[in-house]
Amino acid sequence: MTIDIKTILSSQLPIDNSLKNNTKKLPIDAVDKVADELVATYKNPSFRRWYCGVIYEFGFAQVSEWRERSKEGREPAKLFSKYVKDTRLYKSRRI
């Protein structure tokens, strides 16, 4: 069974304060597929677990945006990680 990105993005839950814990209900097979794509793209299988956590925390749409934006950098894997870390830092300061 294959899942295309359109299906993944259409299943994205809206994120607001009342639903922020519902992102844990993302389809596991879709999360695995996106995590596997990230591992293949960035060639770092030891980060697969971290990618899954990022997908659960921020959702498919945000991860897809970071992935597209990081293609423009000299080291896309490091740029992707920087986007995640900067967003986490920003979130922690807002709360």
More confident residue, 13 or 36: 36
All structural domains of the chain with their residue ranges: 23-94
Give 31-50 pLDDT, tens digit per residue.
Answer: 999 999 999 999 999 999 99
Task: Please determine, for residue 21, whether its predicted confidence score (pLDDT) is greater than 60.
Answer: no
Give 70-86 pLDDT, tens digit per residue.
Answer: 999 999 999 999 999 99
Reported as a pLDDT band with limits 50, 70 and 90, residue 9 is low
**83 contacts 71 by C-beta, under 8 angstroms:** no
The maximal CA–CA distance of the chain, rounded, in angstroms, is 41
Q: What is the pLDDT of residue 13?
A: 47
Q: What is the pLDDT of residue 52?
A: 97
Rounded alpha-carbon distances, angstroms, from residue 18 to 14, 31, 33: 10, 22, 27
Q: Which two tokens stand for residue 46?
A: 């030891």
Rounded alpha-carbon distances, angstroms, from residue 38 to 15, 24, 32, 73, 93: 22, 19, 10, 15, 28
Task: Please determine, for residue 58, whether its predicted confidence score (pLDDT) is greater than 50.
Answer: yes
Q: pTM, whole model, 2 decimals?
A: 0.72
**92 contacts 86 by C-beta, under 8 angstroms:** no
